[in-house]
């Protein structure tokens, strides 16, 4: 179940989170926190916040300082579908839509554009799986 997500984490290093949140009860914060806890570089996107926990937060994909390789979309399914053209135009190589953050139309838009996508796989759970599998000793030698 986690193989595709693990491959993304092992292949790509530039991640963006569309729908990052400073609200600790939101999924967008859970993803944000998991990336920072695991020391994975993340560009957060949400026009509501200039920063989240001292890390810069950008108002849009277009305002990012560099092109992300992977965009994680932590938005409601209808909103995800609506922003797909912008996400595809960002030039990201992979679009990751976690459980509860996509609908069939959003998946089909990615596929029709020829963009690699992951859906219904949680990046937070994938990171947990990777950490459990590698153990603390390997994590220290392979951050």
Q: Is residue 35 part of a domain?
A: yes
In the predicted structure, residue 56 carries a pLDDT above the cut 80: yes
Domain CATH code at residue 118? 3.40.50.720
- Mean pLDDT score across all residues of the chain: 93
Q: Is residue 50 part of a domain?
A: yes
* pLDDT per position as a tens digit, 106-121: 999 999 999 999 999 9
Domain count, the chain: 1
Q: Is residue 143 part of a domain?
A: no
Q: What is the C-alpha end-to-end distance of the chain, expressed in Å?
A: 23
d(CA 18, CA 28): 8
d(CA 49, CA 46): 6
Q: Which domain holds residue 97?
A: 3-135
Q: Is residue 142 part of a domain?
A: no
pLDDT of amino acid 102: 97
pLDDT of amino acid 137: 44
Q: Is residue 109 part of a domain?
A: yes
Q: Are 15 and 68 in contact (CB under 8 A)?
A: yes
Query: Region 73-88: what's the mean pLDDT?
Result: 97
């Amino acid at each position: 179940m986690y193989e595709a997500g693990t491959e993304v984490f092992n292949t790509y290093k530039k991640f963006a989170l569309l729908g990052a949140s400073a609200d600790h009860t939101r999924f967008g914060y859970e993803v944000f926190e998991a990336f920072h806890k695991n020391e994975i570089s993340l560009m957060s996107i949400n026009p509501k916040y200039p920063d989240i926990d001292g890390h810069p937060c950008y108002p849009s994909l277009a305002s990012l300082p560099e092109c992300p390789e992977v965009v994680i979309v932590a938005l409601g399914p209808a909103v995800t579908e609506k922003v797909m053209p912008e996400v595809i135009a960002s030039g990201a190589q992979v679009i990751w839509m976690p459980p509860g953050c996509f609908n069939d139309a959003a998946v089909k838009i990615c596929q029709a554009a020829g963009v690699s996508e992951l859906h219904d796989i949680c990046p937070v759970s994938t990171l947990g799986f990777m950490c459990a599998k590698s153990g603390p000793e390997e994590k220290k030698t392979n951050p």
